[in-house]
């Protein structure tokens, strides 16, 4: 959430868009950790620091790190404000990717504002601190719900110790003041987890703490079913156990989907290879906004207009069940049934950036930048780039191709090579049993299947997962 607009794709164009939407108001909470007047830690009655008071959306305010644009870059015309400098001078002079206002929050709010044809004002509050663990933001009730604070194995999971009173430090200083009153919120957004991605036991801990944190926030704001939208983590290149831990963490995040009025969107297909801060925030925010419109009653009149009348219109298909299919050529074939199944299509993975297609480089519809060199990355850490695979006898994983089945709503995983031996009995290939199937289960999931209608990727899975 702390990644701000200046480092986002098409920042200069987005500044112009902000000038057209004065009905969006922005407020930026400053990063701070402090104590009460008696010197003790606890929920603070007021914010200690405000980076940006309530202000209209504008070219300057969405950048959120310098209130004044270089006048040499600004020209006012009958069409509004234009930025006419080239290169980096288009940007606010002191901006960085960690400016005041969250890019995800801005794009989300803009989508909601535009869906209402600009007739309903939208207020956006940006309160975030990059690189922080969930525990910093949790209430005391969340810690209690998950067994209280206890050192995890090797001390690697809960890296933030709760303050006196049991709350996380950043809850006390950056969110609790907003809950006094309380501030009336329609919903909350959450893009976090990198600091908690450290292995299977950490993913299991996060499953509990994430749900408990959401419930704790809702209780504090006295809105038990307020919308909560989260982003399933994007890509980067951790090594060793932490590489698998990223895939496990994405799976653990989905536990929160069992709570009411929780929406989500994956960022993995818009990832930027090993860059932990992908610049493509708008597509992810649009998915979150669609989930809010689909879930919140006040947006019911918009659902038909935006084709969001079914759950599958905003929810990515997820794994439901698998079965081995008899074959005669010695290759293993696994049929996959999906939840929220819709008509599917094969695509070139969007996060395989700048790839050579049909003899020419293209970036249309894809993340921009240099190609992801999966061969090189996998030498550094095996399976960094994750495609599809089929497990045989609980030991050997075989690379597999993916195709859409005859119904158009399910998948077939087929091993690229013959499994040793041959045979046609269901569930067996040459006497060897098919024991698992996986798709995109790694740090960089190459997601090659999406829904036709909404462009929503099938989410990664691994049937051998312990979560």
Q: What was the pLDDT predicted at 89? A: 38
Domain range for 435 is 318-462
420 belongs to a structural domain: yes
Residue 274 lies in a domain: yes
Peptide bond into 182 cis (omega under 30): yes
| Domain shared by 400 and 305, yes or no | no
82 lies in some domain = yes
User: Which among 284, 313, 342 is the end of a domain?
Assistant: 313
* 467 belongs to a structural domain: no
- If asked whether residues 140 and 96 sit together in one domain, one would say yes
Beta bridge partners of 183: none
The C-alpha atoms of residue 8 and residue 14 are separated, in whole angstroms, by: 9
Q: Give me the residues paired with residue 462 across strands.
A: 438
In which residue are the tokens 């090797």 written? Answer: 154
Query: According to the model, what pLDDT value does residue 425 have?
Result: 45
Q: Contact 106/5 with Cβ under 8 angstroms?
A: yes
Q: Is residue 129 in a domain?
A: yes
Backbone angles phi, psi at 355, to 5 degrees: -70, 155
CA 100 to chain centre: 20
- CA of 95: how far to CAs of 3, 8, 55, 284, 463, in Å? 11, 11, 18, 22, 44
> What confidence score (pLDDT) does residue 362 get?
40
- Of 280, 313, 346, the one marking the end of a domain is 313
Judgement on whether residues 345 and 297 belong to the same structural domain of the protein? no
Rounded-to-integer distance, Cα 342 and Cα 317, Å: 8
Can you give the pLDDT at residue 279? 86
- Strands 24-29, 122-126: pairing is parallel
Distance between CA atoms of residues 385 and 441, nearest Å: 9
In a domain, 255, yes or no: yes
Q: Is 140 helix (H, G, I), strand (E, B) or coil?
A: helix
The pLDDT of residue 375: 81
Same domain assignment for residues 220 and 295: yes
What is the model's pLDDT at position 64?
A: 59
Instruction: Examine the domain organization and report whether 146 and 215 are in the same domain.
Output: yes
Within this chain, do residues 293 and 325 fall inside the same structural domain, yes or no?
no
From 298, 313, 328, the end of a domain falls on 313
Q: Is 305 in the same domain as 333?
A: no
- pLDDT value of residue 459: 97
Query: Are 300 and 345 found together in one domain?
Result: no
The DSSP secondary-structure symbol of 89 reads: G
Q: Taking the model in full, what pTM does it have?
A: 0.86
CA dist 321 and 390 (Å) reads 14
Kindly give the confidence (pLDDT) of every residue in the chain, 467 residues in length, as a single tens digit, with 9 standing for 90 and above: 677 787 777 788 888 999 999 999 999 998 888 666 666 677 888 888 888 899 999 988 887 554 333 333 444 444 333 444 344 333 333 444 456 789 999 999 999 999 999 999 999 999 999 889 999 999 999 999 998 755 454 445 655 567 656 788 899 999 999 998 778 899 999 999 999 998 888 899 999 999 999 999 999 999 999 999 999 999 998 876 667 899 999 999 999 999 999 999 999 999 988 888 888 899 999 999 999 999 999 999 999 999 998 888 999 999 999 999 988 788 899 999 999 989 999 998 988 754 333 333 344 444 555 566 788 887 888 889 999 999 998 878 999 999 999 999 999 999 988 876 544 444 454 567 889 999 999 999 999 999 999 999 999 999 988 77
Domain of 55, CATH number, reads 3.40.50.1110
State how far the Cα of 413 lies from the Cα of 402, in Å rounded to an integer.
5
**How many folded domains does the chain comprise?**
2
User: What are the Cα distances from residue 170, in Å, to 80, 156, 180?
Assistant: 39, 20, 15
Q: Are residues 222 and 111 in the same domain?
A: yes
Residue that is written with structure tokens 């069992």 in the block = 258
């Amino acid at each position: 959430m702390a990644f701000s607009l200046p480092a986002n794709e098409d920042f200069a164009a987005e500044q112009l868009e902000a000038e057209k939407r004065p009905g969006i108001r922005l407020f930026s909470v400053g990063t701070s950790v402090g104590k009460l007047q008696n010197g003790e830690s606890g929920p603070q009655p007021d914010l200690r620091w405000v980076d940006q008071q309530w202000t209209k959306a504008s070219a300057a305010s969405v950048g959120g790190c310098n209130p004044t644009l270089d006048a040499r870059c600004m020209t006012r015309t009958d069409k509004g404000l234009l930025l006419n400098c080239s290169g980096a001078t288009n940007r606010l002079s002191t901006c960085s990717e960690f400016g005041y206002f969250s890019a995800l929050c801005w794009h989300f709010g803009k989508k909601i504002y535009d869906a209402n044809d600009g007739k309903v004002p939208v207020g956006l509050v940006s309160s975030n601190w990059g690189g922080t663990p969930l525990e910093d933001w949790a209430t005391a009730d969340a810690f209690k719900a998950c067994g209280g604070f206890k050192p995890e194995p090797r001390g690697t999971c809960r890296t933030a110790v709760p303050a006196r009173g049991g709350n996380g430090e950043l809850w006390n200083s950056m969110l609790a003041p907003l809950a006094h009153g309380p501030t009336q919120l329609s919903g909350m957004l959450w893009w976090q987890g990198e600091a908690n991605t450290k292995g299977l036991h950490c993913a299991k801990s996060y499953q509990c703490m994430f749900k408990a944190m959401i419930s704790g926030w809702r209780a504090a704001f006295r809105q038990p079913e307020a919308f909560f939208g989260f982003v399933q983590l994007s890509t980067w290149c951790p090594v060793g156990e932490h590489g698998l831990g990223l895939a496990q963490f994405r799976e653990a995040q989905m536990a929160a989907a069992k709570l009411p009025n929780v929406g989500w969107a994956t960022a993995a297909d818009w990832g930027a290879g090993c860059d932990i801060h992908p610049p493509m925030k708008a597509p992810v925010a649009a998915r979150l906004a669609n989930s809010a419109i689909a879930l919140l009653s006040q947006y019911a009149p918009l659902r038909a207009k935006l084709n969001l009348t079914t759950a599958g219109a905003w929810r990515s298909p997820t794994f439901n069940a698998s079965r081995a299919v008899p074959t005669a050529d010695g290759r293993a074939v696994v049929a996959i049934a999906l939840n929220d199944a819709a008509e599917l299509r094969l695509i070139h993975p969007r996060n395989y950036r700048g790839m050579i297609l049909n003899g020419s480089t293209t970036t249309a519809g894809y993340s921009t930048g240099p190609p992801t060199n999966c061969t090189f990355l996998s030498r550094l850490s095996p399976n960094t780039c994750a495609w599809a695979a089929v497990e045989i006898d609980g030991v050997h994983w075989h690379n597999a191709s993916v195709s859409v089945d005859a119904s158009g709503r399910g998948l077939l995983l087929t091993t690229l090579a013959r499994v040793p031996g041959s045979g046609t009995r269901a569930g067996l290939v040459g006497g060897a049993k098919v024991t698992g199937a996986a798709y995109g289960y790694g740090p960089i999931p190459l997601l090659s299947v999406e829904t036709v209608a909404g462009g929503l990727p099938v989410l990664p899975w691994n049937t051998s997962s312990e979560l």
